[in-house]
Copies of this chain bind each other. A is one copy, B any other.
Amino acid sequence: MVDILHRVGVENASPEKVYDTLTTVEGLSGWWTDDTRGVAEVGGVLQFRFPAGGFDMEVVDQRPSEHVKWKVVDGPQEWIGTTVDWRLRPEGENTILLFKHEGWKEPVEFMHHCSTKWATYLMSLKSLVETGEGAPAPRDVRIAYPD
C-alpha cells in the first residue's frame, strides 16, 4: 500500500471556511471541477466529472471544521476502493490542510501523475479560499499534455 500525501496552509482562513469548500457542491465546484454534483453528506455520493472521465465518491465521514473522508466507488480502476482523507486544524489566523489519498495497490505511473495533479488542485483550493478564485477543471493547471 502506498499513499499520496500533501499539506497546504490556507492564509487568513478559518477551518470552517476551508471545510465549506470540501462539503458543499458549490465549494467543490470552485476548485476541483465545474461539473460537481451529488449529495455532500455522510452516506451520500458526490460525482466529479472532467473532460476525460470522472470519479464517484461516497462520503464516509464529515466532522465540521475537522475531518472529511471519501471512498471512491466509481472511476479509474486504480482509484476504486481508495480513500481520500482531509484533516483541518487552525494555526493562528490560518488553517492547515492535511491530505491523504490512501489505498493504492501499486506505485504505478498513473499514481505519480495523480500525486502532482492533487498538489495543483490543493493550490487551487487554497487560492479559492484566499482570493475567491480557484482553478477547477476545465481551467485546471496542466502538468502534462494531455493531463
Contact = CB atoms under 8 A, between A and B. Distances in A.
A25 B94 CA distance: 36
B109 A7 contact: yes
Given A123-B120, A143-B126, A145-B94, A115 B4 contact: yes
State how many copies of this chain the complex holds.
Answer: 2
8 contacts: A3-B107, A7-B109, A7-B116, A8-B143, A9-B143, A115-B119, A116-B123, A120-B123
A98 to B, nearest CB: 6
Interface string A1-12: 011111111010
Given A9-B145, A143-B8, A98 B112 contact: yes
Interface size class of A (residues with CB under 8 A): 20 to 34
Interface of A: 2-9, 11, 94, 96, 98-100, 107, 109, 111-113, 115-116, 119-120, 122-123, 126, 141, 143-145
A122 B115 contact: no
Contacts of A144: 7-9, 94, 96
Chain A at the B interface: SS class: mixed
B9 A115 contact: no
A107 to B, nearest CB: 6
Contacts of A126: 143
Given A98-B109, A107-B3, A8 B145 contact: no
